[in-house]
Homo-oligomer: A and B are copies of this chain.
Amino acid sequence: MIFRQLFEPISSTYTYLLGCEDTRLAILIDPVMPTWERDLEVVQALGLKLAYTLDTHIHADHLTSASKLKQMAGSKIAGPSLDQLPCTDIPIEEGKRFQMGSIQIDPLHTPGHTDNHFAYRLGERVFTGDALLIDGCGRTDFQNGDAEALYRSITEKLFTLPDETLVFPAHDYEGRRVSSVAQEKIRNPRLGGHKSLQEFVAIMHELKLAYPKFIDYAVPGNKACGACPPGIPEELQKYCGQISDSPQG
């Protein structure tokens, strides 16, 4: 498999490129609007054709470039079926393997950061989205977030994967790029070292995080698979790419 970990610095997002060496088709997991051109260039420079974009959840911190890439490269939009977005071409469900050539992805419903959040397991790697981060986890105070649900998602679905499974998160704000299930089980300060549900819930409730800067445009925009929502302030429009080009999905 061809594998690239691409970084988008505005929202500190990792976009993952998976390429099948036989079919020369590619998937981008969590592609982000400001870097859609860079991402497509990387796909093409590797001699691949973008077949799918695959989002882990409806992001609050950036706009997905799923629709943009569909429009520009003809890729199909894959994402959690539970979101029931009319713009989704391939609805993803747990227990239903998503396959592209030799690439086989097992979707894991991992609610808690958002209610419909998914992680994607691919052999010895797991793309954990905003559920499990390196030494951290996604916040649980909006979009039907639920600390108790996140605890169960992580401890019952992610921490039960083999110890050596590589953890590739959707974000890191300190330049870290990879961890493993064993590492997070041992040293994740929020729920590693066998922290109890009660300890985790207390930690999450005490975070007192600021209201997310982009949530009011990002969530409606991402519910349209990455269209820039009407009424967005001019200084934020750069995050949408070229709005006039926005697809209908």
Contacts and interface: CB of A to CB of B under 8 A. Distances in A.
B179 A186 contact: no
Interface in A1-47: 3-5
A183 B178 CA distance: 8
A67 interface: no
A70 interface: no
A180 B183 contact: no
Contacts of A177: 179-180, 182-183
Interface in A135-192: 163-164, 166, 174-180, 182-183, 186-187
B3 A180 contact: no
A163 B42 CA distance: 14
Oligomer: number of copies: 2
Nearest to A16: B164
Contact of A175 (B164, B166, B178, B186): B186
A216 interface: no
B174 A187 contact: yes
Contact of A179 (B164, B178, B182): B178
A246 to B, nearest CB: 32
B3 A164 contact: yes
Interface of A: 3-5, 124, 163-164, 166, 174-180, 182-183, 186-187
7 closest residue pairs by CB, A with B: A175-B187, A177-B183, A175-B186, A177-B180, A178-B180, A3-B164, A178-B178
